[in-house]
Amino acid sequence: MIKPGIFISFEGIDGAGKSTHIEALAAAFRAQGRAVTLTREPGGTPLAEKLRAMVLNDPMDALTEALLIFAARRDHLVQVIEPALARGDVVLCDRFTDATFAYQGGGRGFDLGMLSVLEQWVQSVQGLPADMIRQPDMTVWFDLAPEIAAQRLSGARVPDKFEAQPVEFFRRVAQGYAQRAAQSPQRFARIDAARDRHQVWQQITSAMVRRGWLAIMVAANGGPK
């Protein structure tokens, strides 16, 4: 019998430490025999990766940006996420729709009502009840002060157009994440990303163990290297 698929998204402002831990969590799930699909947004398919490059680097207005992100999301859902969940995979996605509400809605000040309409259109998928849309089963939110994130990012690499934004932009993004978490408290697992790497990993795995998704021993033996 195929185990039900699990959809987990990782969210947070740039510099919060998501990438380090998403790989470790993938390894932990594989260690207990689960197939894992590790992916990202914008991106995850050849088409969506092309759209990602445009969104991250090309100047455009906020509506164009939002439309491209949701177009990439639709292709990603149809081509990767939904088939993986149907196979019983654990899908670990570096960002999903919460990032759009945080960055385009909070950071850029784009209309949240319009984003909600796009969310309904794009994330309605076959097999879900008519009044439901595809959302992660859990969103791991790396909550970090923008000033600390900026220090971590400084000199790390050539920044894209979002990473190059001032701290005030990321304050608005962080507030956007907080608002989404307040709207869906059962889905969000807030992680204090200011703690050291081991403590962050403990917070993540504790959330997985509470859901019954990871065995305690597997969680204890894993972690980012």
Feature table: binding site: 12-19
Point out the annotated binding site for ATP: 12-19
Which of 32, 67, 68, 26 lies closest to 51 in space, CA to CA?
Answer: 68
Sole residue written with tokens 């990438």: 19
DSSP 152-194: HHTTTS---TTTTS-HHHHHHHHHHHHHHHHH-TTTEEEEETT
58 phi, psi to nearest 5 deg: -95, 140
| Beta carbons within 8 Å of 219's beta carbon, 6+ residues apart | 28, 205, 206, 208, 209
134: helix, strand or coil: coil
- d(CA 180, CA 11) in angstroms, rounded, equals 11
